[in-house]
Amino acid sequence: MPRVIGHVDLDYFFAQVEEVENPSLKGKPAIVCVFSGRTEDSGVVSTANYEARKFGVHSGMPIVLAKKKLEGKDPAVIRMEHEKYEVVSARIMEDLEGMVDALEPTGIDEAFFDITTSTAGDYERARKLAVSMKESILKNEHLTCSVGLGRSKAVAKLGSDSAKPAGLVVVVPDATESFLAPLQASQLYGVGPKTASALDQMGIKTIGDLSKADPTDLEGHFGRKFGGYLSAAAKGLDPEPVVSGLEPSQFSRIVTLKRDTRNPQEVLEQLSEGIEYVHGKAKSSAKSFRTIAAIGILTDLSTKTKSRSFETPIYDPALIRDTTLVLFDELSKTVTKDFRRVGVRISGLADAEDQTSLSQFSRGAE
């Protein structure tokens, strides 16, 4: 039975979330920006909607340049709010996880999935399931996405790439080679600019070329593991499984106060175990984080939050404490009632790579 692997990727994700929140943006160019704060417009474009892309704007472009390209087009310029997109992403991933055999998120807006068992390897059933996944995201979150189906991860990923925006590309097993052959080798999942230029120098331009290359040559050039992958992926035979497991996107803890208050010091005291808890969770799962949020639930049960994001990944429990105090200080000035329950949340989680490489380093030095 052939495998049925999928890849789902949300369209112009951050910008689309902003459009959903503010529908008046639809139909006009919009850019979501990360402002560095040095000068008013210094920073880069995180992403742009398709109206802005028509004028050559893309992710990573300096804001100043993007504005120049959109001069006279009345673009919407939006500040990136990573936490907001994380919340939407987490809801979508949870929803999708319930519809497939296994879901492997690989970024904030994309995931591989395996539906071999639930479709009994039938690509017509798989197509219908993919359609209902798309419909579910549209109904629940009002967002469009692109989906690719095929017999391996590499095929599924190329499928979703070529389905953008809002499409579905089903590569049935028999069509795998004809689908892959004309595509550029640089488009293959896992091939970065360095590998692409090395392949180019070997005369390998397309995935078709790659599939005909001598596997021993490839392994000689790129090592046994990666060379073997390239050779297999070019034929849609890369065997990597979809490894299920949702990465947690945040850790939080909410506690009920012993008595209602809006005194920041008092809040912090009662929240100190909560802070230790979220810090311990991050530490034990080897995660750094970038955003700290204070959550206050008032005596009228309304919820207020305030957050702060940092440029560089953080690990430090003292920084959580200090930031939480500042945030509750700010929050308490905006409320007219006391807090009944208070919480702390850390998000923007990433693998604590520095720590891993440090420990590998010290192990290597022994």
- Report the catalytic residues: 110
How many residues of this chain bind Ca ion (CB under 5 A)? 5
- What element of type H or E holds 135? helix 123-141
Which of 4, 6, 11, 151 forms a contact with ligand DCP (CB under 6 A)?
11
Q: Compute the radius of gyration of the chain from its Cα atoms.
A: 24
Shortest distance in whole angstroms from residue 51 CB to ligand DCP: 13
Cα of 127 vs its chain's centroid, Å: 24
Shortest distance in whole angstroms from residue 189 CB to ligand DCP: 13
Q: Determine, following the binding rule CB under 6 A, whether residue 165 of this chain makes contact with ligand DCP.
A: yes
* Window 17-56: residues binding ligand DCP (CB under 6 A): 46-47
Q: In this chain, which residue has its C-beta nearest to Ca ion?
A: 110
How many residues of this chain bind ligand DCP (CB under 6 A)? 14
Q: Determine, following the binding rule CB under 6 A, whether residue 9 of this chain makes contact with ligand DCP.
A: yes
Q: Determine, following the binding rule CB under 6 A, whether residue 60 of this chain makes contact with ligand DCP.
A: yes
And the tokens for 192? 């970065």
Going by C-beta distance under 8 Å and a sequence separation of 6 or more, which residues neighbour residue 337?
Answer: 262, 298, 299, 300
Concatenating the DSSP letter of every residue in 208-271 gives: HHHHHS-HHHHHHHH-HHHHHHHHHHTTT---PPP---PPP-EEEEEEEEEEEE--HHHHHHHH
Q: Determine, following the binding rule CB under 6 A, whether residue 12 of this chain makes contact with ligand DCP.
A: yes
* Window 36-75: residues binding Ca ion (CB under 5 A): none
- Write the CA distances from 5 to 90, 102, 173, integer angstroms: 21, 10, 11
Answer yes or no: are the C-beta atoms of 171 and 155 closer than 8 Å: yes
* Window 107-126: residues binding Ca ion (CB under 5 A): 109-110
Answer yes or no: are the C-beta atoms of 182 and 271 closer than 8 Å: no
Shortest distance in whole angstroms from residue 13 CB to Ca ion: 5
Shortest distance in whole angstroms from residue 269 CB to ligand DCP: 38
Q: Determine, following the binding rule CB under 6 A, whether residue 141 of this chain makes contact with ligand DCP.
A: no
**Residue 46 binds which entry of Ca ion, ligand DCP, none, with Cβ cut-offs from 5 to 8 Å by kind?**
ligand DCP
* Window 9-38: residues binding Ca ion (CB under 5 A): 9-10, 13
Cα–Cα distance measured from residue 48 to residue 216, given in angstroms and rounded to the nearest whole number: 42
- Environment class of 203 (CB within 10 Å of its CB; exposed 0-12, middle 13-18, buried 19+): exposed
Residues in touch with Ca ion (CB under 5 A): 9-10, 13, 109-110
Residues in touch with ligand DCP (CB under 6 A): 9-14, 46-47, 59-60, 108-109, 164-165
